Amino acid sequence: MIAAAAAATVVGLSWILAVAARTTDVARTDDWGFAREALSLHRTGSFHFINWGPMTVVGQLLWAQPFLAVFGEHQWVLDVSVSVLVAFGIAAAYLLARTRLGVGRSLLVVGMLAAFPGVVRDASTFNTDPPSMSLQLICLALGAAALAGSGRRRAALFAAALLAGFWAFSIRELTLAAPLVVIVTMLSVERGTRRRWTLIGSGVFAVACAVLWQWHRLQPNIERYHGNRDLTRSGLLIVTMLITVSLVLAPAVVLSLPRWWRPAHRRSRLIGAAIGAFVLLLAPLLAADLGVANRWLMGDYLEPIGINGNKLALGVRPVVLPTVWWHVIIGVAMASTVVCGALLTEWTLLRVRTYRDRRDDPVTVDPVGRLLALHVAASVGLLVVAAVWNDVLFDRYIWPLVFTGSLSIMSRRPIADDDDAAATHSRLAGVLGGALLVSAAASALALTLNSNAFDAARWQAASDAVRSGLPANEVDGGFEWSGAHSTKDNLNQVPHGDDPLVAWWTAYVQMPQVCAVVTASPITSPNGTLVETLHWNRYLWWIDETVYVYRMSGTTCSR
């Protein structure tokens, strides 16, 4: 019941915020591209990719088909299909946490995941990040249950974990972290015949993934991975990823203060803190070498001006997270990077020593703890591969890692402490950790509310231009609008346009001409005439903001 309540809370809140902002039938971020592919599969019965996004995605497209068949072709129907998977994923996360923690602390860990910007917002979108996250969590929960089971139940749960892992892989390849660590952990504890069957099942899983990968790569209109362009840029992506991961683990680190405040190996902590400080130093050095402005975090969803920043429309969006607030976030990220470096180095040393000294002692084996720790390591490793292989990383890629990392930290064994010191540290941890978690939730709420409102206003403004007589594909309503209404079947194939009034996505989706432009702020152009302004509310600050619609001259438009 508690698992279902946690799932209903996260998904319900997502839909409440979407309904409040009127984004229930509006494309957000990249889901317009996946929506086009899902609708094409529904209409034709065959896959038709549009060269947008290199991820596998087929598992998500297939999952959406029964929903489209029952409820019809609507954006909200696709969003609901994802919400169902998110609900199962949140429930699985809670059940996995309960194998390590009590009810209250398990809910705290689930709350840490939900408080990361974008998780609640995207729970009601057709983006690939929520279902791939959810299926990873389901895979890990089933894997943990298999480790605790025996006989046929153990085998069945392991097979189910691999099926969930394959389904996750059929949406996004980075999700391999979950099934791989389930396989590795199972192989580390199985013996004899059971080990052979585990190897056979793992082999079947590997072959299935390879076949799907190869089939997908051979399909027409598949966007290819870019490959490495600049090792310095990849290095900066990796550094900002490490700092962002440290930031999202900060509430768990502080709340578990009584479990780690007394060092078990002081020298390793000092070395780890130095490593964390070195990571921080690399960020401005690599940025300077690239000739770009320094940034500490990966960005994309956690941005001071809202989800996706200024990439969605021409002009400049209003600030959602004030400068002081943003500086506090960066300060917490920097401090957490040093602390996480210290703790990770110490814990790694202790784990290696324990394994070396007691590897044959079954009492010391903690397979679920090993599963969680391996998932954190595998996730970071795959993110490093993505930074080098695809030359891009976004903060939404780390959602599953937020959960497993937080759970690993929160479930560590407490140190021996006297009663007075334990009470003091517990109170301090509760106050500071609670403040961090509330602040993270407030940031996520502000970003979700305002980004939803901004997206809805742009979509409404573009819809008004269409009602005035313009074809939808001649209206630049921003990134999602232009992609959703493009008549081209093979996108992402042309270079950026030279006209500063025509945004980069206009060239990507190959609009025939731009007759109206929706902007986030006023523009000055001899070719543009302001024809409409549309207001939207900057939530939590009680300020009315505006999007602007310009009619462009010098083009042969339908009206």
Residue of 228 and 466 predicted with greater confidence = 466
Residue 255: DSSP 8-state: H
Phi, psi of 476, rounded to the nearest 5 degrees: -90, 90
What is the per-residue pLDDT for 500?
A: 41
Phi, psi of 274, rounded to the nearest 5 degrees: -65, -40
**Residue 186 pLDDT > 80, yes or no?**
yes
Task: For residue 228, name the pLDDT band (cuts at 50, 70, 90).
Answer: low
What count of other Cβ atoms lies within 10 Å of the Cβ of residue 208? Answer: 16
Task: For residue 495, name the pLDDT band (cuts at 50, 70, 90).
Answer: very low
Residue 518 bridge partners (DSSP)? 549
411 exposure class (CB count in 10 Å sphere: 0-12, 13-18, 19+): buried
What is the per-residue pLDDT for 501?
A: 42
What is the per-residue pLDDT for 270?
A: 92
Q: Enumerate the domain spans of the chain.
A: 2-224, 231-415, 452-552
What is the per-residue pLDDT for 423?
A: 63
262 within 8 A of 417, measured Cβ to Cβ: yes
DSSP codes, 470-524: --GGGEE--HHHHHHT---SS-S-SPPPS-TTS-HHHHHTT-S--SEEEESS---
How far apart CA 246 and CA 258 sit, in angstroms, is: 19
Question: What pLDDT digit, counting tens, does each position of 502-534 carry?
Answer: 455 555 555 667 888 898 988 776 677 888 888
Question: Roughly how many angstroms between the first and final C-alpha of the chain, as a whole number?
Answer: 57
What is the per-residue pLDDT for 558?
A: 57
Question: What pLDDT digit, counting tens, does each position of 151-179 carry?
Answer: 889 999 999 999 999 999 999 998 999 99
Q: Which of 180, 216, 164, 221 is nearest to 57 (CA)?
A: 216
Mean pLDDT value across the chain: 87
Residue of 471 and 359 predicted with greater confidence = 471
What is the per-residue pLDDT for 494?
A: 45
Phi, psi of 517, rounded to the nearest 5 degrees: -130, 130
**Residue 462 pLDDT > 80, yes or no?**
yes
Question: What pLDDT digit, counting tens, does each position of 195-214 carry?
Answer: 899 899 999 999 999 999 99
Q: Are strands 543-552 and 528-538 parallel, antiparallel or unpaired?
A: antiparallel
What is the per-residue pLDDT for 516?
A: 87
Question: What pLDDT digit, counting tens, does each position of 403-436 carry?
Answer: 999 999 998 776 555 555 566 667 888 888 889 9
**Residue 109 pLDDT > 90, yes or no?**
yes
